Amino acid sequence: MADEFDLVISGGRLFDGSGSDPVEADIGISGGRITAVGELTGRGSQRIDADGLCVTPGFVDIHTHYDGQVTWENRLVPSSSHGVTTVVMGNCGVGFAPCRPDQHEMLIRLMEGVEDIPHPVLVDGLPWTWETFPQYLDYLASRHYDMDICGYLPHAPVRVYVMGQRGADREPATPEELGRMTEIVREAVRAGAMGFSTSRTFFHRSSDGRSTPSFEAGEGELMALADALRIEHSGAMQLITDFDDAEATFGLLRRLVTRAGRPLTVSLLEGTYGPMTLRWHDVLDWASTATAEGLPIRAQVLSRAIGVMLGHELTLNTFYTCPTYMTLSRLPFEEKIRELRRPEVRARILAESADPDPAIVLGRLAREFDHMFLLGDPPDYEQPVEQSIASRAGRLGVGPEELVYDLMLENEGHNNLYVTLCNYEYGSLESSRVMMQHPGAVLGLGDGGAHCGTICDGSYPTFMLTHWVRDRRQGPRLPLPQVVKWLSRDTARAVGLLDRGIIAPGYKADINIFDPARLRLHAPEVAHDLPTGGRRLVQRADGYTATIVSGVVVYRDGRATGALPGRLVRGSQPAPLH
């Protein structure tokens, strides 16, 4: 008797992505699609017994920076090890296409500064077999991955490609240059770009300290990009912007969506400067109102603080600009730790001043002791202010620098500290909870593939399933059906991927199976697995029984199977016909 299905998942608690309560159901998969859901009697070539386990759609991460990694690597860690089955890259207006041969170094330095991807890694890793964005997509289409990928056309490379050095210097574009930018966006969308992205925040700087080329681009230039989406009747817009004048900024967003006739998402964080705002309540309300009026605007929010990691193996730590520490920075790790343990070296470093590196915008956070915590393992991302370095040092009667110095030498020098940059203004994640539950919001900002030595938030799907659903102590928890919906259906629909994010017949067979009691997030750790041995932060998880992409198991019990069914997705995808 012939098998009716390629794969049958039997007996799981099915959270279908709609937000509904779970049901006991089997799932039949054939040809990379879900073909049946319910009590199935047909056989499958493969079978997974999910009795007692949760079965959900694969997660869709709409804010990543794998633009370089996808050119040299097939497994998109850390995202793929946290149940993510589709990523959208090219966010924040940075990427590697279009690009003329003499502009490679400029875009590398921009990505190095904005997204903390080491310069040698990009120099050695990027093959540069393309010049235009359609050529870049064609190269990616020739490769296979452990998840599906898709991406925005980034504004900064477009500007530099059209205007050369004038674009990098942020000079105004001429009418002819604006017309060329419109054509490039149209070409990219026709080739499969998800739309375009841009950055208007002073936080985003090249590794030489220069602002990103799109930072001060005029409204007329943004409208020229929006015109391309209007003409093509396709694509979406993504941007990060400073909210110094929140009302004026949101007015610009409304005008962009009105002009393009296409949806837009904008990064939203709680804080007091730059892309953060204490008026985030208003921004969410404005977004919800605009959407109700036919102008689809969603605020991308993160489920935890954006926390900068500090450590001896990382880009930053409290002493990274102290003269004595700098002389030790190029030593092999073990030798550096031995030197730092010497009392005379400790005394010398603690006596030295440490001015932040002006080329690293986040450098000043290295001494934000009121918002600095020992992260621990398992990591605790919601610690009360009483556990901050400043509070602990006060109770011990020592300076915070002394406490930091000693803590970072524990665990053989591998201890990492965590500075809450935003979403933690009042010592808890309540602002994140309110943001996530607002109808004007969508989950994002995990930044997988970026911030290799400072941030590791690509693990946020597992954090949602553990901290917010099961483990939170400082406030209300969240229901699992709602969290699954946020991670799958809602993110997929926000970018026009209507063929995934739901478990129902006809939808793409991207699925997670996990044990909710065994799910565990490990502390971030350093891996030296990038080109040239470059380092990056990765974060492992326990409790995932299987992650399935296009009906193929890519992870089984936390281990990669070696299967690479993931492909480039060109543009928005229609919902399946029933």
Cα distance between residue 111 and residue 115, in whole Å: 5
pLDDT at 338: 97
Q: Is 564 exposed, middle or buried (0-12, 13-18, 19+ CB in 10 A)?
A: middle
> How confident is the model over 506-519, as a mean pLDDT?
98
pTM recorded for the entire structure: 0.96
Residue 371: phi and psi, rounded to 5, are -120, 25
Helix then strand then coil, % of the chain, to nearest 5: 35, 20, 40
Residue 71: phi and psi, rounded to 5, are -85, -15
Cα distance between residue 389 and residue 419, in whole Å: 10
Residue 354: phi and psi, rounded to 5, are -140, 90
Residue whose tokens read 């500090």: 310
> How confident is the model over 488-511, as a mean pLDDT?
98
351-396 pLDDT, tens per residue?
998 887 766 667 778 999 999 999 999 999 999 999 999 999 999 9
> How confident is the model over 118-131, as a mean pLDDT?
94
Contact 30, 37 (CB under 8 A): no
Question: CATH for 1-57+460-563?
Answer: 2.30.40.10
Q: Return the domain boundaries, the chain.
A: 1-57+460-563, 60-307+425-459, 311-419
CATH number 3.20.20.140 is the correct assignment for the domain at 60-307+425-459: yes
Task: Inform me whether the pLDDT recorded for 1 exceeds 50.
Answer: no
**Which one is predicted more confidently, 290 or 206?**
290
Instruction: Indicate the Cα dihedral angle 438, 442, 446, 447, nearest 10°.
Output: -130
Task: Inform me whether the pLDDT recorded for 519 exceeds 90.
Answer: yes
> How confident is the model over 472-496, as a mean pLDDT?
97
Task: Inform me whether the pLDDT recorded for 224 exceeds 50.
Answer: yes
Cβ-Cβ contacts under 8 Å for 178 (sequence gap 6 or more): 220, 221, 224
> How confident is the model over 400-418, as a mean pLDDT?
96
- The bridge status of strand 264-267 relative to strand 297-301 is parallel
Cα distance between residue 91 and residue 78, in whole Å: 17
Nearest CA to 456 out of 541, 392, 391, 569 is that of: 541
Average pLDDT, the chain: 95
- What is the rounded radius of gyration, in angstroms, for the C-alpha atoms of the chain? 23
> How confident is the model over 523-548, as a mean pLDDT?
94
Cα distance between residue 203 and residue 420, in whole Å: 16
Contact 216, 168 (CB under 8 A): no
Cα distance between residue 415 and residue 453, in whole Å: 14
Structure tokens, 185? 């966006």
pLDDT at 361: 65
Task: Inform me whether the pLDDT recorded for 437 exceeds 50.
Answer: yes
- The bridge status of strand 525-527 relative to strand 520-521 is unpaired
> How confident is the model over 137-150, as a mean pLDDT?
98
Residue whose tokens read 């980034």: 154
249-306 pLDDT, tens per residue?
999 999 999 999 999 999 999 987 667 788 999 999 999 999 999 999 999 999 999 8
369: helix, coil or strand? helix
Contact 78, 509 (CB under 8 A): no
